Amino acid sequence: MIRIELSAWTSARAEATRIRETVFVSEQGVPAEIELDRHDPQCVHALARDETGRAVGTGRLLPSEAHAERIVAHVGRMAVLKEWRGRGVGGALLAHLIEAARKRGDTEVALSSQTHAEGFYRGHGFVAEGDEFLDAGIPHRTMRCVLA
């Protein structure tokens, strides 16, 4: 059974960093110097824990941005350890981050999806927009989900 907890960077930093370095830096070749950024201290961080309490996935919700009549939340740095992929961890993380955005009054959630993960996000109500672009040398596409 997976348990999701939301916390500040001060509480999540060590475990979120371990997961992000494993997934993004070691597996995907993202330069270590750009993986952690100035946004982390302002974000709400989600950690997925297995039945023993070990953190196996993470994601973050950036501060809201006002755009005309919309209040947009941004989800990022979604990462699940390889042995836990395909077991609902990413979906549980995303659902908790979306609910946190909804509770604070955001009207939509945006994210930059690695193109191989677009199907995952479509399955959670996100719609792709715009052209593909490179981020850290990895193809991405912007996706959005309007909150009810």
Residue 45 predicted with pLDDT over 90? yes
User: At 127, which CATH number?
Assistant: 3.40.630.30
Contact 21, 35 (CB under 8 A): yes
Residue whose pair of structure tokens reads 């672009």 in the numeric block: 133
How many structural domains are present in the chain?
1
Kindly tell me the sign of the dihedral angle through the C-alpha atoms of 40, 43, 49, 54.
positive
Which pLDDT does position 70 carry in this prediction?
A: 84
On the question of pLDDT at 50 being above 90, the answer is: yes
Q: Which of 22, 16, 18, 21 is nearest to 4 (CA)?
A: 16
Three-state secondary-structure class, residue 95: helix
Give pTM, 2 decimals: 0.94
What is the distance between the alpha carbons of residues 145 and 76, in angstroms, rounded to a whole number?
A: 14
Q: Which domain holds residue 30?
A: 3-146
